């Protein structure tokens, strides 16, 4: 058990209205912090008032981006209980990202205790309206004050919380995606499978150019052959081709192993669908479209759960999917996952962790 020192905020913030939340714009009254020093390990776990963190200008995170993060949510049930969805998966992924980034791991039970304790203290911040939740952002960054390039000897592990609005206030509207031909997000052997800020920094320009051209997100192709599909924006991607569900496999290490992705695969298999995790080329998708066998496509991630794709545009070649409407498999996954997350359906898969 972590010994967490708790310092309560003297003044509480006023809470924003549920219909004005947006994503990641409001933060709760407290945050969790724990420090690491080589030789001492993780120490000094505390929950303190939310506020700025003071760092030396030479702190390594500013120069060499030794940083990683996670993202999960706490949901309010209709009986006002608060629950988490598969936090063990996020914590395991955080530690696998730690290994890739030469960052010391956080014991899984300590990370879960930190998340639960903070969410419990802030439970009044979990919004009530349909589709809203409390987004949980754990992150770790290198704080050693020096400019040599090597793994830092000092880190901080911080957790902040943000009440977020319903992603689909206006219904599950399919989005338009640009197939990215100029930039790549990662390459085999790189950090594609690690949840790190650096991957996002590298993706901003492609995303910005896509938005300027009227697209919501980009479809990332592999960095070597520019042929195989990796992800859509910051989501994992699925296709339904001739009734079979196909998604890029994790084997090459290019793809972030999404908790939503894994949950969709498990549910689809349980329901009796054929699910193939394998390489998926953009040519295969164009061909399926031309043959009329491209039934559906959707992105998966914690923020949106399921994000249906209405169209891919590949340098002017338009792949329209299901008349720009959400398909039945996308809808079924969305309905079932959200029912479990908000406690409206029984937890048959054992995925729910209550915050007592
Ligand atoms: C976090 C993330 C995802 C989605 O993962 P979930 O665990 O389902 O939220 C997908 N792709 C990238 C690049 C991500 O950072």
Residue of 186, 165, 294 lying closest to 234 (CA atoms):
186
Query: What per-residue confidence (pLDDT) applies to 168?
Result: 74
| Rounded CA separation 269/267 (Å) | 5
Instruction: Tell me the pLDDT tens digit for each residue of 267-309.
Output: 999 999 999 999 999 999 999 999 999 999 999 999 999 999 9
Q: Can you state the percent helix, strand and coil of the chain, rounding each to 5?
A: 25, 30, 40
Are residue 185 and residue 303 in the same domain, yes or no? yes
Last residue of a domain, one of 140, 166, 192: 166
| Rounded distance from Cα 214 to ligand 1 centre (Å) | 23
Residue 66 within a domain: yes
CB distance 229 to ligand 1 below 6 Å: no
Instruction: Tell me the pLDDT tens digit for each residue of 39-75.
Output: 999 999 999 999 999 999 999 999 999 999 999 999 9
- Domain, as residue range, for 327: 175-341
| Rounded CA separation 77/223 (Å) | 43
Are residue 12 and residue 138 in the same domain, yes or no? yes
CB distance 138 to ligand 1 below 6 Å: no
Q: Which of 101, 254, 302, 305 to mutate to test the pocket of ligand 1 (most atoms within 8 A of CB)?
A: 302
Are residue 184 and residue 157 in the same domain, yes or no? no
Contact 149, 15 (CB under 8 A): no
**pLDDT class of 166 with cuts at 50, 70, 90:** confident
Contact 67, 197 (CB under 8 A): yes
Are residue 328 and residue 192 in the same domain, yes or no? yes
Number of domains in the chain: 2
Contact 309, 321 (CB under 8 A): yes
Are residue 142 and residue 197 in the same domain, yes or no? no
Q: Which ligand 1 atom is the nearest neighbour of the CA of 236?
A: 10
CA 285, chain centre distance (Å):
25
Are residue 123 and residue 225 in the same domain, yes or no? no
Residue of 71, 168, 258 lying closest to 247 (CA atoms):
258
CATH code, domain carrying 199: 3.20.10.10
Instruction: Tell me the pLDDT tens digit for each residue of 181-240.
Output: 999 999 999 999 999 999 999 999 999 999 999 999 999 999 999 999 999 999 999 999
Full-model pTM: 0.97
Q: Which ligand 1 atom is the nearest neighbour of the CA of 257?
A: 5
Last residue of a domain, one of 119, 137, 166: 166
Are residue 100 and residue 50 in the same domain, yes or no? yes
| Rounded distance from Cα 284 to ligand 1 centre (Å) | 24
């Amino acid at each position: 058990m972590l010994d967490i020192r708790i310092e309560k905020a003297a003044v509480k913030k006023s809470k924003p209205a549920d219909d004005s939340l947006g994503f990641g714009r409001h933060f709760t009254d407290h945050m969790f912090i724990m420090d690491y020093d080589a030789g001492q390990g993780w120490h000094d776990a505390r929950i303190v008032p939310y506020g700025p963190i003071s760092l030396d200008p030479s702190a390594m995170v500013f120069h060499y981006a030794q940083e990683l993060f996670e993202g999960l949510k706490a949901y309010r049930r209709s009986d006002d209980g608060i629950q988490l969805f598969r936090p063990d998966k996020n914590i395991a992924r955080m530690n696998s990202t730690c290994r890739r980034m030469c960052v010391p791991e956080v014991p899984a039970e300590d990370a879960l205790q930190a998340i639960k304790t903070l969410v419990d203290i802030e439970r009044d911040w979990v919004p009530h309206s349909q589709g809203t939740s409390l987004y949980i952002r754990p992150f770790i960054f290198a704080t050693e004050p020096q400019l040599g390039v090597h793994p830092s000897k000092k880190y901080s592990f911080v957790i902040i919380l943000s009440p977020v609005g319903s992603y689909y206030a206006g219904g599950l509207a399919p989005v338009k995606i640009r197939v990215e031909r100029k930039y790549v997000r990662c390459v085999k052997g790189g950090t594609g499978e690690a949840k790190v800020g650096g991957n996002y920094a590298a993706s901003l320009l492609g995303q910005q150019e896509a938005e300027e051209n009227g697209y919501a997100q980009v479809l990332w192709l592999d960095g070597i052959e520019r042929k195989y599909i990796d992800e859509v924006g910051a989501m994992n991607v699925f296709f339904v081709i001739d009734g079979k569900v196909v998604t890029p496999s994790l084997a090459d290490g290019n793809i972030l192993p999404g908790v939503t992705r894994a949950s969709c695969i498990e549910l689809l298999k349980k329901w009796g669908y054929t699910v193939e995790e394998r390489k998926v080329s953009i040519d295969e998708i164009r061909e399926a479209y031309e043959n009329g066998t491209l039934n559906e496509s959707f992105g998966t991630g914690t923020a949106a759960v399921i994000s249906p794709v209405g169209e891919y545009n590949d340098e002017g070649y338009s792949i329209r999917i299901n008349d720009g409407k959400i398909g039945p498999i996308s809808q079924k996954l969305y309905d079932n996952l959200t029912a479990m997350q908000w406690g409206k359906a029984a937890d048959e898969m054992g995925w729910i962790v209550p915050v007592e």
